[in-house]
Every structure is written in structure tokens, then in C-alpha cells.
Structure 1
Amino acid sequence: MKNKLKNMKPVIIFTVILIGLSIFFVIKNTMDKSSNEFQFSGTVEADELNASSELSGKIKDIKVEEGTKVKSGDIIAVLDSDENTINVNQANISLQNAENELGKINDGTRIEEINAQKELVKQSESLVTQGEAALETSQNNLNSAQTNYDYKKKIYDDHLTLNEKGYESNENLDKYKNDLDNAQTALNNTKSALSSANAQLESYKAQLAAATDKLDLLVNSATARDEATAKYGIDQAQQNIALSKIALEKSNIKASSDGIVETVNFKKGEYVSLGSPIITLLDSNNMYIKIYVPEKILPYVKLNKEVTMKSDFIKDKVIKGKVCYISKEAEFTPMNIVTKEDRMKLVYEVKIKISDNLETVKSGMLLDVTLK
């Protein structure tokens, strides 16, 4: 038995040594791991984005609350848009009216008016023709009356000579004088008729000129002017619709970027003026924390290195992040100490981008950062 124990003694000693070495390396590894874990504190920073009103008006609805995650383009608040809706409807009515007016012109309403005016021109031309014929007749009547008067005057003059010589009675002379007076009256009447016919012809010509001018106006300018006016009305209505729709769209306050609602600055029913920051967002694509790492620890810090963070306010959650920036220039701590003995107190700014639990993080919050 003693010999057996004596033979096992080297094995026992070796086993004890092996166990001791294992414990040593485990403790050493644990100590190494512990010694490579560093704690820092920093304050959360983020770019603030204000969702501001581009119109003045009363807030109709707030669609988010503090901590709400939003995507770029999400509607987060709505202004009262009744007036803008009315403006859009009125602009649509104006557009319809202008299009109807242009349609009437293109469908021939103006052509019918032109054809009616052409008929008036034809009637005026016919009147001028009639007037010219009447003037010619009056001129012929005047010529005949003048010939008759000249003939009657010659007869009267001949009988007057005979009367003066005693060969013609006064009674017969009076008869020829009466014929001459009648011829004179007829001549005067034909002259008056000629003057009236000439005046009537000039009136007909004036009517024809006016009708022709109006026809030219309709054909050459009025149609083009009316069409241009209708098209201008369409353009104006379309512009008014576009502007009204822009104003209507601006009544929807949208997030300009992905983010988290930090503060809601107004309540439903409150009046806001142009440019009022209704809601403040934190840019979730760029929330970060700054820490300052001593020079001797800097070798443990690498870009894209994952780190963990905690807060006294959210103890049940671990916040993850990645190193996104390491300053190339050191800062002294404090800044006025530059002695050789204090070189080890040089620190480097390190920025860590927060990658999760963004809804629980607020700008200005103090976080404890663990670097391993």
C-alpha cells in the first residue's frame, strides 16, 4: 500500500500543479479583461430639426408626441385648411369657365356671329346697289324735267313775243305761263329727289362701311382676341389652382428627416404664425455622445468599435453605439498644464454614434460609456 502511494505521489503533484496553473491563467485572463474595460461619461448630442409652419393659422391636429419615431415626409401636424380648400375649389370653377369659353369659340359660336355679320354686309351692299339705281333714276328724271322746262320756256317766250306784238291774247299767254310754272315745279321736285337719292346712297355706303369694318374686326381681331383672353383665363386659373394646392399642402406639417420627436411646442387649437417651430425633432441619423479618452487608452479605441452605454434614468436598457470619430489632435487636461510630467493626461475627443434605443435617449442626457 505504501509503495502504491509512493508511486502515485508524482501524479498527484503534477495534477496539483496543473490545477494551480489553470486557476492562475483563469485569474490572469479575468484580470486582463477587467483591466481592458474602461468607463467614461458623456452627454448626448444631436442635431435639432424644427418642423416649422410655412403659413399662419390654427393648429387642427397634432399627430405625434414626445419620443415618437418619424420618417422623412411623415405628417406630424395639420393646420386648419378650410380657406385653402375653398380657394382650390374656386380656382377649379374659374378654370372650368375659361375652358368652356374657349370651347365655345372653337366650337363655332364665333363663326355663327361672323356669318351673321357677313349677311349684314350683303344686305348693306344690296342697299347701296338700290341707292345707286335710285340715284341714276333721279338723275334721269332731272334730265327729263330740265328738257321739259327748257321746252316749255321756249314756247312761253315765243307766245310772250306774240302777245307783246298784239298777236296773242293774254288768256292764251297765261295758259303757257301756267305750263311753264308746272315744268319749273317738276324740275325743282326732281332736283330735290336727286339730292335725297344722293343722301340715301351715302347713308347706305356708310352702313356698308360700318358692317364691313365690324366683319373685319370679328374675322381678323375679335376672334383672336377672345381666344387669347380665354387662354389667358385658363393659364391664370391653372396658376391659382397650383398656388392654392401648394398652400393646402403647406397646411400639412411634415418631418424633413428621419428623427425622434423631442418636444411638441404647441397644442391643438392654438394659433401659430409664419415660421413658428411647431415640433422639434432630433435627427435620429446623427445622435451621438462625446467622450475624452486619455492618451494611454487611445490604442484600445478603433473606428467602428462597438461600445455599450447606460443611464441612471433607464437602468433596464443597454444602449449600443459605434465609434465614428477619433480626434487626431490631443487636448491637455487641464488646458494650462503642459509639463512633461502631465503628458499622460493628454486626452482625445472620441465621438460615438448611438445606434439603438433612440426613443429613450434625449439630447443632454448623461450616459456612462463602457469601452472594452
Structure 2
Amino acid sequence: MSAVSDQNSACQVAFLLTNNFPSFYLTTATSLLEAANKILKRQKFTWKTLSLDGKNVPSDGGFSIACDDSLNLDSHFDALVVITSVEQFKQDPNQLELLNAWTDRGISWALLTSNGCANSEREPISAHGNQALNLPSCSPQWLKDNQWLHDINDGYSTNNPANLVLSLIAKHSSNHLALDVLGQIKNQLDICPLYTMAKQKFSKTSLREQLSTQQPKLAESVTLMENNLEEPLNLNDLASYISLSRRQLERLFQKHLNCSPSRFYLKLRLAKAQTLLRETQNPIVTIANECGFVSMPHFSKVYREYIGMAPRDERRAKSAHQFSIRPHKVKSNGVYQANPQ
């Protein structure tokens, strides 16, 4: 069974600053996080500044930043963003050792350097004499399961500082929120091409992502349902995982989706079954089991009731638009509702 989503919990970001760090990157990163908090109307993202020794750090603009603390392996945060210059990396091998140590511990970090040097290699960082450094832009943990970075490319992937921070927002909340943040600051940061590309990728978001900024508990419950179709959760467990009572969960679904959680869950399972019947050659009994139906007669009965035909007839259907089942729709006034059938 999937772990409970942490999209509703706070995310603390640590910014490690080194001598002559590019100050614009820090301003950009904190502006993006602040914009996300304003959209959410809560302090989802918090941040602190660190240095290797805990002392003030001079920026490339000639002013110094007073850091909150020093960085050590006992530091606690959800993500680490290192803002530095390539020259500083050449001078201080301790930074290389630190990043490799964080990688070994599975901590998510990103590297923002003054010359935009970045790639997605996952090899340990090393420096030998005057040889050019091979600096990855982020750790394997940052890249893992991060659809934002996977989908935004053509020069705007890990090479773009704003995009790395947006990927952090997407990872800890949703692509939908990251797109909203980008839309607000695109002119300010002169990254309109990035916004255009992201909008094309993420303007059609899932119900879970659309709900995440407005109804996080509801979004979390939908995520759990989507991740547990083969072995459906009972409603008491589902409510417990998101710290609600069963009655509160039922009210939440009725208010915002105009149906019960059981009915919504069933439609998600049937939608998956319909996709598998149309797009695979798996035996119907296997599909029934994959969608949480332990009895073929029950699967056939429910499928016919909701879809309007038997599963075997669905497989024969040649037109993809016939008898389509959709678990939800979004009304023009922003109220989310399930289709009545």
C-alpha cells in the first residue's frame, strides 16, 4: 500500500551560501517560494540560510548575508539548495564532500552556480587540479518522481535556476501550484518561454492536482484512492490516514464532488478497468482483479450498471468515444463535481 501523501505538510528549504554567491539566485528562489505561500494562503514553504561556518557570507553584489546557522550532517530540512560560484567549488573541496555525503544519505539537494553549469549525471562530483568540474544540477533524489523536471526540457530543464525551484514546489505540492506561481512571476523574472512551455504541459491537470491548493485533504484522499485500486482501502482507514473521521470524509466528498467517497472510489476503479479493456489484451478476470473486484459476476454486474455494457462487449468496442466513463468534471464556476452516472 502506498504511503500517505505529504503534500499537506510544511516543507523547509535550506539555502547554503558560499563566498561571492550569485545573489539573484537567492532572490529568485525565495520569491518563488513566497509566491507559492501567497497562493496557498499559508506557510507551506519556509526557508533558512546556511553557511559552511555559520558566519556572514559576501555575495557577488558586494553585500553580506547573515546566515541562520552552519551546515553539518545533523542539520534538518526537507531540501537543500546550494547557491555558489564555480570558482568557489574549485577552491573548497569540502563542498564536494558535503554534497556527496548528502547524496549518500538520500537527501534531496540542488546546485545553483553562477555560470549555469548543470547536467543530470548521477556520478559523484570530483575535481582534479585545473580540470573542469562535472557539476550535477541536482541530486538523484531531486530528480526522482519529479514530473515537472521530466516534462520541461528543451533547455529549460535543470539548467534553469527558476525551474529547479519550481520543481521543488511541484514535488512538495503539485504541478498545478508550480504553474500558478510561474504565471505570477513570469514577467518579473523574464522567463516567459518557460511559462509557455509549462502551461502547455500542465494546463490540463488531474483532479488531484486541481484540488491540492484548494482542498488538500480531499486531494490527499483521491491520491490514496488512485494508488490503491487493486486493494481498495476501507473508508475508515482512508479517513484515518488523512486525520479525519469517516463522517468528515463523507461530508467533504459530498460538498465538493457531489457524491460519496465509496461511489467516487468505485468510478476510479471502473475507469481503470475500462482503459485496460480497451488498451490491453489482458484476460478480463485479470483486469477485474487489478481493479479491486474479487468476483467476476460482481465486476460484470457493476460494469454493466455504470458503463452500460458488459466488459466483454467493451473489449469489442471500436470507437474510443463510446460509453466513456469519467470520474469527475470541473464546472465553470470552479465547483468540482462527479458525473451523476
Which TM-score applies when normalising by structure 2? 0.20
Q: Which has the higher helix share?
A: 1
> Which has the larger share of strand?
1
RCO comparison, higher one (Cα < 8 Å, 6+): 1
Per the normalisation by structure 1, the TM-score is 0.19
From the CA coordinates, give the structure whose radius of gyration is larger: 1
